[in-house]
Amino acid sequence: MAAPEFVPTDPTQRTRTYSSPPSRKRSWSADRPGDVRGGQPSGARLGTQGPDQGYAYKLVDTFEDRLELGAVHHADAVAVAVAVAMKRAALFGRAPVVHDLTAGFTIFGFLDADAPADLVEWREAEFPEVHHEHHYAERRDLIDLVADGVLHRPHGAIEQDYSADWRRNIAV
């Protein structure tokens, strides 16, 4: 480590320099107990992996004054909409942006002050307690109702389909 010039040093002492670690004789392989072999697992209820997905929770603050939750608990609405936003971002191979959250909240009508009565009724029946860890299966079921094809579209197209008929974005 470098030291200021006023610190006395022994001129006869050999100075240390950086040296690279020894080279590996073979290529790296996943052979430790915690290593994932063969890439990320996929399947039912495993979600979609993507970079920096937690950033979506930071973006929720920008929607607080616009959310129309009705009888749905705030934490439940955020848990599902954020998970949909993370899924959308991961499908594009990037971190979530504000448009992903716009899509997530729009799909379930949380940005619409005059949401259709049948959607509001469906939300009130399906959303209770889904933000809790022990309701992960129910939360995943709600997220999986939104097809990848819907999420690949621009958020403006998602909003147009919601305005025409909210069922276009959700496979209920």
Q: Check residue 27 and give its pLDDT.
A: 77
Please state the length of the chain: 172
Nearest alpha carbon to residue 130 among 73, 57, 170: 73
- Reference 53, options 1, 89, 79; nearest CA is 89
pLDDT in the model for residue 122? 93
Give the pLDDT of the chain (172 residues) as one tens digit per residue. Answer: 667 778 777 778 777 777 777 777 777 777 788 777 777 777 777 766 777 888 888 999 999 999 888 888 999 999 999 999 999 998 898 999 999 999 999 999 999 999 899 999 999 999 999 999 899 889 999 999 999 899 999 988 999 999 999 998 998 7
For the entire predicted model, the pTM comes to 0.74
Structure tokens at 85: 């936003």
User: In sequence order, what are the residues at sequence separation of 6 or more whose Cβ sits closer than 8 angstroms to the Cβ of residue 37?
Assistant: 30
In this structure, which amino acid lies at residue 52? D
Tokens of 8: 């006395």
For every residue of 111-140, DSSP letters joined together read T-TT--HHHHHHHHHH-TTTTSGGGHHHHH
pLDDT of residue 21: 77
Q: Would you kindly state where each structural domain of the chain is located, as residue ranges? A: 55-168
Of 85, 77, 150, 131, give the one whose Cα is nearest residue 109.
Answer: 77
